[in-house]
């Protein structure tokens, strides 16, 4: 076969991602307990148009048809999340067999279609009972509860899963939900800096306990990791100085999450910066936090431009995107495809990661169907194409990039933006719940089929 432009390795894992609260619906069916997002959605004015996830895109009932759509795309893997309060309506204690059964059926359907199931244990929908009882992550008991839940899922479903993510994006449910953007993220509370740092510590400790519990149940028979929205550090220029600055920034900006997880200790920069507000922890906890992982997943959307800056305290500074900078249709979604190259490269140089997955990347965009229900989302195709070309640069340089999960398979409940933001490859008509493949779905199907971006290169 002639050479294809941006050819990916043979076993490259092409996937798509969703999260339970954003797609499932069936919020009060089959014994599911409420989560913090059910509660947050009831807060007047919290969600655009007062939307909520009660029905979402009804994936809970339409999962068979949805798996058929995935098969049409040629997806090799599906990243979904498990609703903790479907399995444990009270967060801990007695499991709910009907909730578990849904995931069993979903996984069987995926396996039947030749699609690898990759499950996220916690994608922000903390059982409300844990917030009521322990104030959520403010308590170490919440970490223990995650560990127990992880062990239970590994025992019940682990034989059928290919991969498992403990936690999705610490920053959103902690930093944002506990104080920096409480109006946009559940549980929508404002805690002190000291309590935030302790909650961050409990969450990474919960991650470590979950890793250990899954490993104890399943050994190395499934891949264990997490999906983190690490800062999208990109050097402003490809000079030695800026690259070194971006690398230092990546490590320091991740000081409360990925750095301790991959190094087994907090970087001194984080502890110094937080001083009296730093978390209290034991050596034993740090060992658990540093439990070895099979892979690390990065959710990458927007750039954090870094430059070498001898006048800055740490030798680097962040250059914000200005008003004229091109963005997709989210306030924070500045476009810089090279994040898909730089973050894996810098992270790998820092931490020598065995396998890296892009666990989310994609964009929202106010696309609309025409009279024939066709959605010509050329801007999304542009966004995806450019990001995949940038990702390919890392492949060419032999970085251990093993797969890419596109966010998202369908338009869905985009948190505080409700259904007003569309991230999907499939357009969802929220009146009828019908799904239509957008142009981007066809683009992605071609990419998967050819295992390349674009067709044969001209000689
Ligand atoms: C991620 N930011 O959230 C989540 O994992 C998804 O559930 C979500 O739908 C998707 O990205 C799109 O928003 C993010 O402010 C939320 O930079 C906020 C930010 C990034 C990611």
Reported as a single tens digit per residue, the pLDDT across 151-162 is 999 999 999 999
* Confidence grade of residue 457 (pLDDT, cut at 50, 70, 90): low
Share of the chain above pLDDT 90, in %: 97
Q: How many helices (H) and strands (E) does the chain have?
A: 16, 13
In the set 24, 109, 131, 169, the catalytic residue is 169
> Quick one: pLDDT at residue 302?
98
284 belongs to the catalytic site:
no
How far apart, in whole angstroms, are the C-alpha atoms of residue 304 and residue 315? 16
pLDDT at 459 > cutoff 70: no
pLDDT at 455 > cutoff 80: no
**Average pLDDT, stretch 25-44?**
98
**Average pLDDT, stretch 269-280?**
98
Residue nearest to atom 4 of ligand 1 (CA): 169
120 lines ligand 1 (CB under 6 A): no
414 lines ligand 1 (CB under 6 A): yes
pLDDT at 456 > cutoff 80: no
Of 47, 81, 169, which is best to mutate to test ligand 1, by the most ligand atoms within 8 angstroms of its C-beta? Answer: 169
**Average pLDDT, stretch 207-213?**
99
Of 36, 271, 295, whose CA–CA distance to 173 is shortest?
36
Q: 196 has which bridge partners?
A: none
CA 107 to chain centre: 19
CA 327 to chain centre: 20
> Quick one: pLDDT at residue 2?
59
Cis check for the bond before 408: say yes or no (omega within 30 of 0): yes
Q: Which atom of ligand 1 is nearest to the CA of 333?
A: 17
Residue pair 187/135 in contact (Cβ under 8 Å)? The answer is no
**Average pLDDT, stretch 326-332?**
96
Residue 458: CB atoms within 10 Å: 7
How far apart, in whole angstroms, are the C-alpha atoms of residue 391 and residue 178? 33
Residue pair 334/303 in contact (Cβ under 8 Å)? The answer is yes
Q: What does pLDDT average to over the chain?
A: 97
Measure the CA angle with vertex 419, ends 411 and 146; round to 5°.
80
229 lines ligand 1 (CB under 6 A): yes
> Quick one: pLDDT at residue 5?
85
In the set 274, 285, 336, 360, the catalytic residue is 360
How far apart, in whole angstroms, are the C-alpha atoms of residue 323 and residue 4? 38
169 belongs to the catalytic site:
yes
How far apart, in whole angstroms, are the C-alpha atoms of residue 173 and residue 299? 15
> Quick one: pLDDT at residue 441?
98
pLDDT at 4 > cutoff 80: no
For 239-270, write each residue's pLDDT tens digit: 999 999 999 999 999 999 999 999 999 999 99
Q: Which atom of ligand 1 is nearest to the CA of 330?
A: 13
* Confidence grade of residue 286 (pLDDT, cut at 50, 70, 90): very high
How far apart, in whole angstroms, are the C-alpha atoms of residue 95 and residue 156? 11
CA of 442 to the centre of ligand 1 (A): 24
pLDDT at 295 > cutoff 60: yes
Residue nearest to atom 16 of ligand 1 (CA): 172
Q: Which atom of ligand 1 is nearest to the CA of 408?
A: 9
> Quick one: pLDDT at residue 454?
80
- Whether the predicted model's global pTM rises above the 0.85 cut: yes
253 lines ligand 1 (CB under 6 A): no
């Amino acid at each position: 076969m002639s050479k294809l432009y941006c050819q990916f390795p043979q076993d490259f894992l092409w996937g798509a991602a969703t999260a339970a609260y954003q797609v499932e619906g069936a919020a009060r069916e089959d014994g599911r307990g409420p989560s913090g997002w059910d509660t947050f959605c009831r807060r007047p004015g919290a969600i655009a148009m007062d939307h909520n996830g009660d029905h979402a895109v009804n994936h809970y009932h339409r999962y068979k048809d949805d798996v058929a759509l995935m098969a049409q795309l040629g997806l090799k893997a599906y990243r979904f999340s498990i609703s903790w309060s479907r399995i444990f309506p009270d967060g801990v204690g007695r499991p709910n067999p009907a909730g578990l059964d849904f995931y069993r059926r979903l996984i069987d359907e995926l396996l039947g279609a030749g699609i690898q199931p990759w499950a996220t244990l916690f994608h922000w929908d903390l059982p409300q009972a844990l917030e009521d009882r322990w104030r959520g992550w403010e308590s170490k008991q919440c970490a223990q509860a995650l560990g127990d839940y992880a062990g239970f899922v590994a025992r019940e479903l682990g034989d059928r899963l290919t991969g498992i993510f403990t936690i999705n994006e610490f920053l959103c449910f902690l930093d944002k939900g506990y104080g920096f953007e409480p109006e946009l993220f559940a549980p929508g509370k404002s805690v002190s800096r000291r309590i935030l740092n302790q909650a961050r510590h409990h969450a990474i400790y919960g991650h470590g306990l979950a890793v250990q519990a899954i490993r104890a149940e399943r050994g190395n028979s499934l891949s264990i990791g997490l999906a983190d929205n690490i800062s999208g550090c990109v050097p402003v220029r490809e000079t030695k100085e800026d690259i070194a600055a971006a690398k230092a920034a990546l490590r320091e900006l991740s000081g409360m999450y990925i750095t301790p997880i991959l190094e087994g200790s907090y970087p001194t920069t984080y502890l110094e910066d937080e001083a009296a507000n730093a978390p209290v922890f034991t050596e034993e906890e740090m060992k658990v936090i540093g439990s070895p992982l099979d892979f690390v997943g990065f959710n990458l959307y927007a750039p954090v431009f870094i430059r070498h800056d001898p006048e800055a305290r740490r030798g680097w500074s962040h250059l914000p995107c200005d008003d004229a900078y091109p963005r997709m249709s989210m306030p924070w979604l500045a476009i810089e495809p090279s994040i898909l190259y730089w973050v894996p490269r810098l992270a790998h140089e820092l931490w020598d990661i065995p396998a890296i997955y892009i666990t989310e990347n994609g964009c929202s965009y106010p696309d609309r169907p025409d009279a024939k229900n066709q959605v010509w989302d050329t801007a999304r195709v542009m966004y995806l194409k450019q990001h995949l070309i940038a990702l390919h640069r890392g492949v060419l340089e032999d970085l251990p990039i093993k797969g890419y999960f596109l966010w998202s398979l369908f338009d869905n409940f985009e948190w505080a933006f409700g259904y007003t933001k569309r991230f999907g490859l499939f357009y969802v008509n929220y009146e009828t719940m019908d799904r239509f493949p957008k142009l981007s779905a066809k683009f992605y199907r071609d990419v998967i089929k050819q295992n390349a971006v674009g067709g044969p290169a001209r000689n």
